[in-house]
Amino acid sequence: MAGTLRPEQAEIILNYSGGKVGIAAVPGSGKTFTLAQLAARLIYDRRIGPEQEVLIVTFTNSAVNSFQARIARTLRGQYGLLPFVGYRVRTLHGLAHDIVRERPALVGLADDFAILDEKLALEIQRDIVTQRLPEWWDRMSGYLDPENDSKGARRAFEQDLPDLVIRFIKYAKDQRQTPEALLAALHKVDERYDLARFAANVYADYQRSLAYRGAVDFDDLVRLALDALERDERYLHRLRQRWPYILEDEAQDSSRLQEDMLRLLSGDRNWVRVGDPNQAINTTFTTANPRYLLRFLEQPQVAERPLSVSGRSAAPIVSLANELVRWTVQDHPVPDLRDAFEYQPERRRGTLRGLIQVTGPDDPQPNPLSEDSPIKLIYRPDRKLSPEKEREIIVSGQEFSLREWLDEMSDLPEGEQPTVAVLVPENSTGFKLVELLRHHEIPYEELLRSTTATRETVLLIQKILEYLSDPADLKQLKLLYWALLPDDQRDTVNATPELRQTLSKVFARWNNIEDFLWPTLGDRDLELDGIPEGYAWLQEDLAIFRQRLQRWLKATSLPVDQLVLTVAQDIFDQPVDVALGYKIAVLLRSVSQSHPEWRLAQFVEELRLISGNERRFIGFDDAEAGYEPKPGVVTVATMHAAKGLEWDRVYLLAVSSYGFPSAQPYDSYIGEKWYTRGSYNRLVMRLNLEAEAAAQLEALVNGNSDSYTEGDATLRARLDYSEERLRLLYVGITRAKRELVVSWNMGRFWQKGKEQENFPALPLVVLGERVEQGGLWE
């Protein structure tokens, strides 16, 4: 195996003998591979006993499945061992669930405690905000700008307030603060703390609602798991014996609770933490912070090991990423943003940090050749692009467009065609891009919150199950018939008044739906009068519709996954849709095992979340083994979702001052809503209410209420957000292997009651000047 490893990887995998190790990895250095190999090696070397496991903690469910697949392959193929023995891979919440479920009485829970579904938890919190707001309106309205339209401002505020409170509650739980403790502290402070006071009252009502149900939510799990470990030394000792080695992935996104839990479980002994502080993109309004990893690396008893060599990207792209980091740390015009990145280009304690090194001549995974790697920054100060024009240029323009590039690549054998992605700052931009790709008949896949094809397929199955859950509902029957009509027939009905009238008369005859579903006189009830000439298909179509309903209603006695398969076989004929139907069945079977008491109506609600794009469809994001880009197919993803992935060519869209601010006077910030007032001390023109609420909470937790000054948190949030967006741009750049295209649009947003234009993001301007001057990569 040593011949396939870089020296940095071999040092970690082959020479680890225990203790605390910190690894600051760069993009493309193989940190997942290295951790998976280390876990397998510990098992192979018999560092664990028969009743012990290597514990791997990672950030997402897809990463859990990827780690499991990698470790299993290594154990079976490389070492000839059983593939699923000797290790456990969990997210933080999954680990917390294991700990609490084993000893629920330690934290005051019944053995049969429930974990509240995410959807229901959010609904409860939103409902409480809506119920509470009228009695609090006199206080809360004080945060609105009196110069704005009162009705519109109130409407927007009422719409956004639940999200603010939901994040406040999550933040409070991350700080291990109970509503009782917060309310007691709030009795001692004045009206400056009204945001926190309102949110804490909602928090108290929400926790009472959970207690009434005998349930906890996902955010409670981590807090309660830590409570359990602190309360019972014998239980903690037993878990330490069970997991003698802990490997932590994505440690740059670790929170205080995660660090405290893993420190307890490891006994501060055999603990390996891997992460890239420069890819910390989940820190805004959470307790996650890369400083936890950086402080760990600085501890004298921690052995720091580098993963600084990357063969992912061509040298010019590596130079661009390194220059973004160097410029930010050394030359950014706002000194407070110069700590956005960790950058140690000179060896310190024997390691480098924040500097990507290209591979050596004998590396098993060398960088792509430089001459095949153009970098195109579509930026000129005198050229203003609308968002629509930017998307058109990227999709079908004359230079560097997807259409031109894919046409050039089409002659290559299928296995040799390169991969390509368009990365966007947020989902809404991605949805619009997908529509344009569809218009130009360019093949694509989505890694947005859920794909368009997924949402449409799930919506159709949802409508069928919704009707089957209440088959006496005539309105749902009509909606279902309309949803099942092919597009061309639906267009025909819309364009033909006589046909619409005929259908209305048909459904009006079936006040008793059983007369339609189970007729006693054969098919005579479907003999339709007055069908316009040329539309005889209608009668046959209604007969098929009835036959399907009869079959589906009989299938409702089956388990939900078999019901879905029965439906999917009847309505889908395209392989991709059949496959989606199968995945929906698998998902609902898994849900039914977790919720055996659920009826059909609850499964309909689960599908409504997916079709409404409120929840990522587990199983449609290739979570089982990790997403693999398909050659010749455009991947559309947010930059957040693209982390950990790579493509031959990458487009970064909408790199503007609104999406990537740099604390410049002309920058605007998504968190400062148009309807809010400024601070009373005139520090800011628009308060960021989420930031202000979090700052109020922080002051209460620290027992120093005088430390809160209105507006300070808004200013700090600007810097925090700007830092995170600089790191997000770095993540986007380092997804590209061979070619990179970066663009911006002037866009428009509302500020101070007026429509304003975007500017190019400051890093794009600076790097664009480097290109014009022939620097770095040309």
pLDDT at position 755, please?
52
20: closest CA among 277, 276, 253, 305? 305
Residues 6+ apart with CB under 8 A from 36: 67, 70, 71, 74
Other CB atoms within 10 A of residue 585 CB: 21
Residue 689 predicted with pLDDT over 70:
yes
Q: CA 237 to CA 229: how far, in whole Å?
A: 9
Residue 775 predicted with pLDDT over 60:
no
pLDDT at position 383, please?
65
pLDDT at position 241, please?
97
Specify the higher pLDDT residue, 515 or 46.
46
Band (pLDDT 50/70/90 cuts) for residue 381 is: low
Most confident of 217-221, 378-382, 475-479, 694-698: 694-698
Distances (CA, A) of 531 to 372, 469, 491, 492: 64, 32, 17, 13
Kindly state the DSSP code that residue 2 receives in the 8-state scheme: G
287: closest CA among 161, 176, 206, 179? 176
- The secondary structure element, H or E, covering residue 452 is helix 452-469
The token pair at 304 is 């720091």
Phi, psi of 774 (to 5 degrees): 70, 30
Specify the higher pLDDT residue, 57 or 762.
57
Please list the residues that pair with 56 across neighbouring strands: 89, 247
* Termini Cα distance of the chain: 38
The token pair at 236 is 């903690």
pLDDT per residue as tens digits for the range 566-606: 998 888 876 667 777 887 887 788 778 767 888 888 888 87
Quick one: 533 exposed, middle or buried, by C-beta within 10 A (0-12, 13-18, 19+)?
A: exposed
pLDDT at position 246, please?
98
Q: CA 465 to CA 605: how far, in whole Å?
A: 10
C-alpha dihedral, 482 to 484 to 489 to 494, nearest 10°: 20
Please list the residues that pair with 638 across neighbouring strands: 424
Band (pLDDT 50/70/90 cuts) for residue 703 is: very high
Q: CA 703 to CA 693: how far, in whole Å?
A: 15
Residue 524 predicted with pLDDT over 70:
no
pLDDT at position 449, please?
55
Q: Is 752 left (phi over 0), alpha (psi -120 to 50) or beta?
A: left
**Percent of the chain topping pLDDT 90:** 52
676: closest CA among 88, 157, 121, 58? 157
C-alpha dihedral, 527 to 528 to 533 to 538, nearest 10°: -80
In 485-599, alpha helices (H): 487-495, 497-508, 513-517, 537-555, 560-571, 575-594
Pick from 3-12, 231-240, 577-586, 763-772: least confident? 763-772
Q: CA 390 to CA 424: how far, in whole Å?
A: 12
670: closest CA among 643, 691, 652? 691
Kindly state the DSSP code that residue 20 receives in the 8-state scheme: E
C-alpha dihedral, 484 to 489 to 490 to 491, nearest 10°: 160
Phi, psi of 180 (to 5 degrees): -65, -45
Q: CA 326 to CA 352: how far, in whole Å?
A: 13
560-575 b/e (C-beta count within 10 Å ≥ 16 → b): bbebbbbbbebbbeee
pLDDT at position 748, please?
52
Pick from 95-99, 259-263, 295-299, 427-431: least confident? 427-431
pLDDT at position 350, please?
59
In 702-778, alpha helices (H): 712-733, 762-772
634: closest CA among 622, 649, 645, 613? 649
Average pLDDT over residues 421-438: 90
pLDDT per residue as tens digits for the range 608-641: 765 554 444 433 444 444 678 989 999 999 999 8
Quick one: 531 exposed, middle or buried, by C-beta within 10 A (0-12, 13-18, 19+)?
A: middle
- Write the single-letter amino acid at 244: P
pLDDT per residue as tens digits for the range 544-561: 888 899 999 999 999 998
Band (pLDDT 50/70/90 cuts) for residue 523 is: very low
CA angle 217, 121, 208 (to 5 degrees): 75
Counts for the chain of helices (H) and strands (E), in that order: 28, 18
The token pair at 48 is 């664990």
The token pair at 98 is 């294991």
- Decide: 689 and 678 in contact? Cβ < 8 Å: no
CA angle 122, 126, 128 (to 5 degrees): 120
- Decide: 107 and 162 in contact? Cβ < 8 Å: no
Residue 526 predicted with pLDDT over 90:
no
- Decide: 35 and 274 in contact? Cβ < 8 Å: yes
Residue 41 predicted with pLDDT over 90:
yes
The token pair at 670 is 């998504």
pLDDT per residue as tens digits for the range 455-498: 677 788 888 998 898 888 888 888 888 888 877 777 777 777 77
- Decide: 22 and 277 in contact? Cβ < 8 Å: no
Phi, psi of 742 (to 5 degrees): -120, 135
pLDDT per residue as tens digits for the range 326-343: 999 999 999 999 999 999
**Percent of the chain topping pLDDT 70:** 88
Specify the higher pLDDT residue, 103 or 753.
103
pLDDT at position 584, please?
82
pLDDT at position 347, please?
66
pLDDT at position 12, please?
93
Phi, psi of 98 (to 5 degrees): -55, -45
Distances (CA, A) of 265 to 5, 55, 56, 243, 351: 30, 10, 12, 8, 28
Specify the higher pLDDT residue, 369 or 74.
74
Average pLDDT over residues 225-239: 96
137: closest CA among 122, 150, 121? 150
Distances (CA, A) of 627 to 312, 613, 645: 17, 19, 8
- Decide: 342 and 24 in contact? Cβ < 8 Å: yes
pLDDT per residue as tens digits for the range 138-176: 999 999 998 877 788 899 999 999 999 999 999 999 999
Pick from 38-52, 412-426, 482-496: least confident? 482-496
Residue 778 predicted with pLDDT over 50:
no
pLDDT at position 770, please?
64
Band (pLDDT 50/70/90 cuts) for residue 371 is: low
Angle between helices 256-266 and 233-242 (to 10 degrees): 80
- Decide: 425 and 660 in contact? Cβ < 8 Å: yes
The token pair at 777 is 């990569």
pTM of the model as a whole: 0.80
Other CB atoms within 10 A of residue 330 CB: 10
Specify the higher pLDDT residue, 496 or 106.
106
Kindly give the pairing relationship between strand 647-652 and strand 748-751: unpaired
740-759 b/e (C-beta count within 10 Å ≥ 16 → b): bbbbbbbbeeeeeeeeeebb
The token pair at 422 is 């368009």
Average pLDDT over residues 380-396: 80
- The secondary structure element, H or E, covering residue 647 is strand 647-652
Q: CA 253 to CA 675: how far, in whole Å?
A: 32
Average pLDDT over residues 282-298: 85
Residues 6+ apart with CB under 8 A from 14: 2, 5, 41
Write down the residue that tokens 């009826």 correspond to: 599
Average pLDDT over residues 307-332: 94
On average, the pLDDT of the chain sits at 86
- Write the single-letter amino acid at 299: Q
Distances (CA, A) of 39 to 14, 67, 460, 735: 11, 10, 43, 26
Band (pLDDT 50/70/90 cuts) for residue 749 is: very low
Kindly give the pairing relationship between strand 54-58 and strand 344-348: unpaired
